[in-house]
Structures are given as structure tokens and as C-alpha cells.
Amino acid sequence: MPRARTGTLVPPGADGLWRARVTTTREDGSNWRPLYSLGTTDKALARRALIKLVAALEAGRDLPAAVSAATSVIRVREYAETWLERRTRIGVGMVYKERRNLEMYAWASIGHLPLGDVRPSHVRSLLDEAIAQGRRRATVAHIHGVLRRMFSAAVADELIEQSPVAAVRVPKMRSIRKERVILTDTEFAQFIGCAEVDLELRMLSLAARCEGGMRTGDLHRWDWSQIDCSAFAECIVPRAKTGAPQTLAIPAALAPFLRAWWQRAGEPRRGPVFPARTGKRAGQAKRPLTSYAKRLRRGLLQAGIVRRTPREVPATKSGTRTDLGRQASGTKLAPDPSDPLYFETETTLPVDFHSFRRAFASALAEAGVNVQHAMHLTAHSDPRVHARYVMRTTAMRSIPEAAIPRLPAGGFAPVAATPHDALERARAVGIVTVRDDSALEAPEALGASTPSAPGPWAISAPAAGLEPATRRLTAACSTD
């Protein structure tokens, strides 16, 4: 059986273009290996062009048609695959999110287009479609960002002259920035102590809440070789977003739980702390896109953590086919639709696994940790991002007493009988509501032996003894 045809890449010459040799058969039956120009200076693109060339020859195309099919057009999706592979090799942590955004929002509209045929109108239409689907501004900005980076790389590779994304800005969207609900310390302790909740989920939550606000990606990359398994005093947190490992102390409250989890795993010296438990990948690191939001909310309901009284609904379970008349008997408890822990409200978003990171940052603010130290512990590089994590603290909601004026202890004073009584009462409480900078009338006109000097007036002072401007202001206040 002859060996499958694969071709050979030839390094570029003086013109910088990659070439290829592919064995072909002449009409007389003899084989030869001509040299083809692949028309690109990028090795990854040249490798893909070689695959296309071999496929065209295998399909029976003649030599000119095969070369034209392999080198004339580079589609957006083909270049994107090369670009994503390149970013994976250099260790960019957000590649899987970039790929997901392209797959969900870009492939259907521009994936089949030649790279040079994409216009700003295509990009704008793509963003408008995401907005029509109800995506938030942050998601639309992520889509715009991955397209901008990809087409900028195509400009650097000299495949296009200018980026079509450069002329398109993220559309202005009026949206309410809702805060993510976080668990209180009491609710968190109740969740961790509930034996009915999956043990792995509780350990993941405990590590995310206590060890530097670890993200899901950090937990998936966490390895036993990065943990001091003798004293459980320190560990290395692999920050998946930046790729920079961070050494942190293990809190005394977390250490016994982590040691018990290590002993349960067989006291390994290396391997993922939270490996995949089922399937072909059992024992290996979990996939990057693994989410715990739904599992977390189910666990909270199992632990009885609710903020609204749950409702009874018809019992259902996995595999129940209501369309075939298969219904489980009885009822079960389900979260109330107005419970902010489980559902989005007018002002908040439901709790998810990232809420533990927000809770950690908020607890640092409550503890009075300065911003530099808190940003180091949470691995935040932008103070504006860090500030969004601490807006739910009690300290941020409390209004300092220094910002409130001195007010009478008993509320408003009764109406004074004379201007002199009003003046004395205002001086006693020390409140200034209207200050008259003009000279007052003679003390005799006010019925009191007070010096002719500006002074404070109580809120109930009559307007008869005031200057015209002050009388108008007092009348306006009384009307309001």
C-alpha cells in the first residue's frame, strides 16, 4: 500500500516566500516533485496551504487548479485557526475565550469570507446581531476586541493592507451595571458544613473564597507540586489569566481542609488538585470551559440557603419524558423566582462561582486592607477593576458622620413667638439655614437688645425682620 501523500515544506528564499514539494504523477506514469510557491511568509499559513494543495491534488484537480486553490484565497476562519494556535504556543491565557467568541458570533457571518473581503460594515453588522441577541456591553466589547487583535495580526503578516475593525467602535449601549450577589459569611459556613452537598464543590468553593480569590481557571491549573504538603503553610497560585505564578500563604482556616483533601486523594506529590473524575480524562486536568454556576446554585438549595421562601413545584428528574406521559410523583422545593441568590433581579445578578472572588475582595476591604495589598492578594493589575469588586461592603454603604451636618436632637423646633426667640434658638443649636450679609434692623425693632451684626437664623424664623432677598428665599423654602 503506497504511503499517503503529505508534501514537504521548503524554507523561503530571497523573496521570503515559503515553497513546497509534492509528488505528482505525469501522464506517462512517472513521478516528479515540482516546487510550488505558497505565496506567504508565515510558516503556519504555509503549512495550511500545503495541506490544501495536497487535498486538491488527491481530489484529481490538475496542477494549476490545485495551486490556485491552495494559495489564492485565505479565508477568515482558516487564518483565525492559525492565529489562535500561535497564541496558544506563546501562552496566552484567554485563547479559549477568544475561540469561543469567534465560534459563537463570527464564523456564521464572516468565517467563509476571504480575509481581504471583510469590510467595516460586516464587523458592525456582527456586533449589532450580538446586541439583538441581548448580549451585554462587556460581551460585545470582547467580540470587538478579539476581531481587532486578529485583523491587526493579519496586517502585521502582510495579508491585508488595513484592519476593517479599526473603523468600527463598540456601539454605545445603555445598560444598568448590576452587582453580582455574594454569600454572607453565615451562608458560606452553612454551605461548607452541609454534608449533602458534593464534597468537591465545597472544596472548590472553600479554595476560591479563602486562597487569594482563585478563579475557576486557577483551580483547574492548581497542582499538588505547587502546595507545601508537609506544613500546608504556603502554596503557589497559578494565575491562569496572566500566566504568572503567585506565592501566597495558606490561611489557617483552609489548611486542615486542604490537608484532608490531600489525604483523601492518596497523598500525591504531583497531579491536579481538582482532576476530572469521570470519562476518558479521569485523573487529568479539567477542561478550561468547565463551569460550576449551576452546580453551585443546586448545592445552595440542598444546603437550605435561600433568601425567599422556596416554592413547591411538581417533582421532575433527569430522564423524565413529560411528552411521553412519564411524570414523577409528588412535589419538590424550588427557589422563589424573586430570590436574588438564584435569579436576576432589577438590581442584582444571581450568585455564581466567581462570586467567591468578589466576596474575598470585599472582605479585604472590610478588614481595612490597603488597596495595594488587596490588589496583590487578588492579582488585580487595574485599580478600576478592583474597585468594582468591593462596592458591596458595609463600609462602602455607610455614610460617615463627618459628612452629615449637626442637626437638633429633637427634630424641628416649634415656631418662635418673636424674632429674638428665633435668633436665640438658632444660636443654641448652631444651625445655619439662611445667612443675611446685609445689616439687620435696629435691635429695638426686633424687640431685643442684640448687636447689629449678621447672625444665624433658625428654620422657623419669620420673614418680617429680614431683607427683601432673604425674605424671598425664606418664602420659597416655606412654599416648598
Which of 25, 40, 72 is the endpoint of a domain?
72
Helix, strand or coil, per DSSP, at residue 349: strand
Q: What pTM value is reported for the model?
A: 0.63
- 445-470 pLDDT, tens digit each: 444 444 444 443 333 334 444 454 44
Asked if residue 352 lies in contact with residue 293, where contact means CB atoms within 8 angstroms, the answer is yes
DSSP string of 236-252? EEE-TTT--EEEEEPPT
Rounded to whole angstroms, the Cα distance separating 126 from 30 reads 51
Is residue 320 in a domain?
no
User: pLDDT per residue over 196-224, tens digit each?
Assistant: 999 999 999 999 999 999 999 899 999 99
174 occurs within a structural domain: no
| Chain segment 102-132, per-residue pLDDT in tens | 999 998 889 888 888 899 999 999 999 999 9
**What pLDDT digit, counting tens, does each position of 322-343 carry?**
666 666 677 888 999 999 999 9
CATH number of the domain that residue 393 is part of: 1.10.443.10
User: Is 322 part of a structural domain of the chain?
Assistant: no
Say which residue the cell 492578594 belongs to: 377
Q: Does a structural domain hold residue 58?
A: yes
The reply to whether 146 falls in a domain is yes
* Residue 175: inside a domain: no
pLDDT higher than 70, residue 472: no
DSSP state of 306: -
Helix or strand or coil: residue 391? coil
Query: 279 — alpha (psi -120 to 50), left (phi > 0) or beta?
Result: left
Q: Helix, strand or coil for residue 25? A: strand
For 191, the domain range is: 180-277+284-313+332-402
CA–CA gap between residue 20 and residue 33 (Å, rounded): 9
Q: Is residue 172 part of a domain?
A: no
Do residue 258 and residue 385 come from a single domain?
yes
Residues 251, 361: one domain? yes
The three three-digit cell numbers of residue 396, written as one number: 462602602
How far apart (Å, rounded) are the C-alpha atoms in residues 9 and 28? Answer: 26
Residues 107 and 214 in one domain: no
Rounded to whole angstroms, the Cα distance separating 50 from 383 reads 48
Q: Read off the amino acid at residue 467.
A: E
* Tally of CB atoms within 10 A around 136: 14
314: Cβ contacts below 8 Å, ≥ 6 apart: 327, 328, 331, 332
Alpha-carbon torsion (391, 392, 396, 397), positive or negative? positive
Domain shared by 296 and 380, yes or no: yes
Angle between helical axes of 137-156 and 120-132 (0-180°, round to 10): 160
Q: Are residues 137 and 215 in the same domain?
A: no
**Domain final residue pick, 123, 156, 189:** 156
For residue 236, give the 3-state DSSP assignment: strand
151 and 200 co-located in one domain:
no
268 and 241 together in one domain? yes
- Residue 371: count other Cβ atoms within 10 Å of its Cβ: 14
Question: Phi and psi for 37 in degrees, rounded to 5?
Answer: -85, 130
Query: pLDDT category, 161, cuts 50, 70, 90?
Result: confident
The verdict on 381 and 342 lying in the same domain is: yes
Q: Is 79 exposed, middle or buried (0-12, 13-18, 19+ CB in 10 A)?
A: buried
Domains held by the chain: number: 4
Q: What is the DSSP letter of 251?
A: P
Segment holding 131, helix H or strand E: helix 120-132
Q: Quick check: is 142 in a domain?
A: yes
Q: Are residues 44 and 188 in the same domain?
A: no
The pLDDT of residue 157 is 81
Q: Are residues 432 and 361 in the same domain?
A: no
pLDDT band at 141 (very low <50, low <70, confident <90, very high): very high
Pair (305, 208) in one structural domain: yes
Residues 114 and 62 in one domain: no
Neighbouring C-alpha atoms within 13 Å toward the C-beta of 240: 18
